[in-house]
């Protein structure tokens, strides 16, 4: 019975060494990147191009090949 207790203690020590602590926290500043927007982005978004509008058409039936 004593042998069983030492194996459990050894397994617990290995488990604690491997999973005992949480990883370091990552700061929000390290996860985000600031990128300057293109100055002409608003002009293109407001203009309408009927010949190019087919590129953005989405239909689930067409996507599934029905």
Q: Model confidence at 23, in pLDDT bands (50, 70, 90)?
A: confident
pLDDT tens-digit profile of 30-44?
Answer: 888 888 876 665 555
Cα(47)–Cα(40) distance, integer angstroms: 11
Query: What's the pLDDT at 40?
Result: 61
Q: Which two tokens stand for residue 49?
A: 């191009």
**Total-model pTM:** 0.29
User: 3-state DSSP call for residue 39?
Assistant: coil
Residues 6+ apart with CB under 8 A from 29: none
User: To which residue do tokens 């191009």 refer?
Assistant: 49
Chain-centre distance of CA 22, in angstroms?
Answer: 19
Q: What is the mean pLDDT of residues 59-64?
A: 76
Q: Model confidence at 57, in pLDDT bands (50, 70, 90)?
A: low
């Amino acid at each position: 019975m004593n042998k069983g207790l030492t194996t459990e203690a050894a397994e617990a020590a290995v488990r604690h060494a491997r999973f005992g602590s949480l990883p370091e926290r990552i700061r929000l500043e390290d996860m985000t990147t600031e990128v300057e927007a293109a100055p002409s982005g608003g002009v293109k978004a407001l203009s309408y191009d009927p010949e190019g509008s087919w590129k953005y058409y989405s239909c689930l039936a067409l996507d599934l090949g029905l």
